[in-house]
Amino acid sequence: MYKRDTAAATRRRVNQAGRRHFDGGKFQPVDYPHRLNFYTTPPTEEVTLDEFEQWAIQRLKVLTEIESALFRNKTPDELKSILNDLLKRHLPLDANSSRSESLTAQRRTDHYSHFILRLAFARSDELRKRFSKAETILFRHRLMTDDGLEREGFIASLGLDWERLSDDERSELESELKAASGGKKNLEPTYYKIDWEKVPELVERRMVFLKRGMAYVPASLQTAVVVGEFTNHLDRALELTARALPRLDEDERLIPILNHLSHGFTAPEFTSDPNGTHLPGTAITAASIDSLLQHFPACMLHLHTTLRRNKHLKHFGRLQYTLFLKGIGLSVEEALIFWRSSFSATPEDKFNKEYRYNIRHAYGLEGNRRDYKPHSCQQILLEHAPGNGEAHGCPYRHFGPDNLRAFLQTQMGVTDSSVLQGVKNDNEARKYHLGCNRVFEWKHREELKREKESGKGTVKETIIHPNEYFLRSWELAHPDEVQEAAKKMEGMEMKDEVMM
C-alpha cells in the first residue's frame, strides 16, 4: 500500500491510445499563472498512487459538502462561509499576491484532483451531472472570491468570444441597456456583446438586453458568462472522457481507486464501524437503549415511544429504527433481543416468522446480504412519506405544526418558546434540518458552550444524519471518554508508523 509506486507506466499507455486517437498531442508540464483553472489542459506529470488518492479525496470532501449544502437549501451567504472554511482546510488556493510558497503545489493539487475526479465521475450520466454541478459551484465561488485584478487577467486569458461594445453603440442603446439593468441610475461603462446562448441564466431572468440573438452583458455580470462557459466546457469534456473510459488501458491500480471515489460521492451516509461499538467504553445492549434516549433525534425518539406504546411498529418504522440502532452499535443478537421484548404482545412463532427475518435482513444476514446503511435525513425526508398508523419519517417534516410543537415540548423537552418559533419558521422555509439542528443546539447549549470555551470544538457542520445526531450528542455528554479514545487512536497510529 505504501510503496512509492507511480502510475506513470499506465499513463504512458493511455497516452499512446490518446495520441493515436487524436492524431498527435504534446504533453508539457503545466505552469499555473492564474489561481483559477478552466481545466482545459490535462496534467501530465507523474504522481504517486498515494497522492492520486489523497488529492482526490480532499477534493471529494469539498464537493460532497457542496452537494449536501445544496440539498439543505443553504442560502448563498451560508454556502459562501461553508466553502471558505472547507476550502481552507481541504483545498486551499492562494492568490498570486499572497506570494505563498506553496502556490504551485496548491494549484497542482487542484488541477490533478479535478482531473482524477473527472475520471471517477464520467461513468454515468447521473454522476456527470452531479459532478458538473458541484464543480460549477466551486468554480463560481472561487471566481467570486478572486482578487479583482487577477480575475480580470484570468478572464482575459480564456479568450472567450465576446466583443466589447463600442461607445457609439452603447450610447445609442442607452435607454434599453438601462431598462434591462433594472433601473440603475448610471449605465455601466463597459458592456460586452455575446451570443445569448452563452448566458442562458441571464436571459432566463431578463437581466440583459437582447438584440438579434446577442446578449448585451454589463461587465459586472461577466461572472455568469464565465461560469456558464466553465459548465459548458466541463460537460463536453465529461462526455468525451466517458467515451474514452472503456478504452482506458488500465491495470488494477487506478480503477479500484476511481470506483471507490465515485462511491464516496453519494448522499451522505453513515458508515457504521465494522467492530460494532462506537461509544468508547460503553457497549450497547438491548437493555441499555432506554437509557440513551436523551441522545436520540426526534424521529428516532418518536419511533421508540411509539414502539413502547403500541408494542409494535409497521414495516418502514421497523426498518428505519433497526438501521439506526445498528448504526449506533447494537449487534444483531442484541437487536433480536430488543425487538423480541419490545413486541411483547406478539406471539413467539409469529415474531419468528414475520419479524426475525426482517431484522436479520437489515443486518445483511439474509436474502441478498446487503449491508444496509442507516437512513440519512435525506432518505427519511424524501422516501416513503408515512401513512396512516406509521411512525417513521421526520417529525419536522411529517407532523402538523401543532403536533410537532406538542411533541417537542413533551417528548424533547423544549421549553424555550423562541426555539419553538424558530423551528416553525424553519419548517415554513422547508428547512427541516435546521429545525432539528436548532433543537439539538438548544438541548446541548451548555455542553456546546463548554466545548467552545475549551477550544476543542470541532468545526460545526449541520447534522444531516440521525446517527450523527446521536453520536454528537453522546460525545458532548462524555467528553472524557472521547478524549481517552482519541489518545488511544493516536497511540495506535504512532505504532503503525514505527512499524513501517
Partner 1 sequence: MFDDDEDLIGDDGDDTDLLTAEEKAKVSVKDASFSDPQVMYAFYQRLFPWRQLFQWLNHSPIPSNDFMHREFAFTLQNEAYLRYQSFPTFETLRKEVLRLNPSRFEIGPVYSANPRDRKALRKAVFKPINKELVFDIDLTDYDDVRTCCDKANICEKCWQFITVAIKIMDVALREDLGFKHIMWVYSGRRGAHAWVCDKKARQMDDGKRKAVAAYLEVIRGGAQGGKRVHLRRPLHPHLTRSMDVLKDSFTTDVLINQDPWREPEKSARLLHLISDKTITEALREKWNSEPSRSSVKKWADIDEVAKSGISRHLNVQQLRENKQDIVFEYLYPRLDVEVSKHLNHLLKSPFVVHPGTGRVCVPIDATRPEDFDPLSVPTVTQLLAEIDATTGEEKMADYEKTSLKPYVDFFKRFVAALVKDETTAVKREREKEEAARAAAAGPGMAAEMEF
Does residue 25 interact with partner 1 by CB under 8 A? yes
The answer to whether 72 touches 276, Cβ cutoff 8 Å, is no
Does residue 242 interact with partner 1 by CB under 8 A? yes
The answer to whether 170 touches 142, Cβ cutoff 8 Å, is no
Does residue 246 interact with partner 1 by CB under 8 A? no
d(CA 363, CA 327): 10
Residue 323: closest CA among 273, 381, 363: 363
By CB under 8 A, the residues from 159 to 188 that bind partner 1 are: 176, 178-180, 182-183
377 is in an annotated binding site: yes
Stretch in the footprint of partner 1 (CB under 8 A) among 25-33, 217-225, 395-403, 441-449: 25-33
Does residue 460 interact with partner 1 by CB under 8 A? no
d(CA 14, CA 43): 13
Q: For the chain, give the number of residues.
A: 500
Does residue 457 interact with partner 1 by CB under 8 A? no
Sheet holding 214-218, edge to edge: 163-164, 191-195, 214-218, 209-211
Q: Residue 28 or residue 368: which is nearer to partner 1 going by CB?
A: 28
The answer to whether 472 touches 443, Cβ cutoff 8 Å, is no
19 is in an annotated binding site: no
d(CA 456, CA 460): 11
Q: Residue 189 or residue 213: which is nearer to partner 1 going by CB?
A: 213
Single out the residue of 21, 89, 129, 164 in contact with partner 1 (rule: CB under 8 A).
21
Q: How far is the CA of 236 from the CAs of 209, 242, 474, 483, in angstroms?
A: 28, 10, 47, 49
Binding residues for partner 1, total number by CB under 8 A: 51
Q: Residue 203 or residue 337: which is nearer to partner 1 going by CB?
A: 203
Q: Nearest distance from residue 26's CB to partner 1, in Å?
A: 5
Does residue 27 interact with partner 1 by CB under 8 A? yes
Q: Residue 107 or residue 375: which is nearer to partner 1 going by CB?
A: 107
Q: Nearest distance from residue 112's CB to partner 1, in Å?
A: 8
Q: Nearest distance from residue 197's CB to partner 1, in Å?
A: 6
DSSP summary character for residue 445: H
Q: Nearest distance from residue 454's CB to partner 1, in Å?
A: 44
Q: Residue 19 or residue 311: which is nearer to partner 1 going by CB?
A: 19
Does residue 213 interact with partner 1 by CB under 8 A? yes
Does residue 203 interact with partner 1 by CB under 8 A? yes
Stretch in the footprint of partner 1 (CB under 8 A) among 72-80, 194-202, 279-287, 313-321: 194-202
Single out the residue of 5, 8, 9, 44 in contact with partner 1 (rule: CB under 8 A).
44
Does residue 38 interact with partner 1 by CB under 8 A? no
d(CA 279, CA 447): 18
Does residue 249 interact with partner 1 by CB under 8 A? no
Q: How far is the CA of 167 from the CAs of 155, 195, 380, 442, 444, in angstroms?
A: 22, 19, 57, 59, 62
Chain centre to alpha carbon of residue 327: 20
Does residue 240 interact with partner 1 by CB under 8 A? yes
Does residue 24 interact with partner 1 by CB under 8 A? yes
Rounded (10°) angle between helices 466-477 and 445-454? 70
By CB under 8 A, the residues from 109 to 138 that bind partner 1 are: 112, 115-116, 118-119, 124-125
**Beta bridge partners of residue 123, listed in sequence order:** none
The answer to whether 150 touches 107, Cβ cutoff 8 Å, is no
Q: Residue 162 or residue 339: which is nearer to partner 1 going by CB?
A: 162
Stretch in the footprint of partner 1 (CB under 8 A) among 236-244, 360-368, 456-464, 471-479: 236-244
Is 343 in a helix, a strand, or coil? coil
Q: How far is the CA of 3 from the CAs of 49, 55, 223, 265, 497, in angstroms?
A: 9, 17, 44, 27, 14
Residues 6+ apart with CB under 8 A from 416: 442
By CB under 8 A, name the binding residues for partner 1.
11, 14-15, 17-19, 21-28, 40-44, 112, 115-116, 118-119, 124-125, 176, 178-180, 182-183, 196-197, 200-201, 203-206, 209-214, 237, 240-242, 244
Which residues are annotated as part of the binding site?
299, 377, 394, 436
Which residues are annotated as part of the binding site for [4Fe-4S] cluster?
299, 377, 394, 436
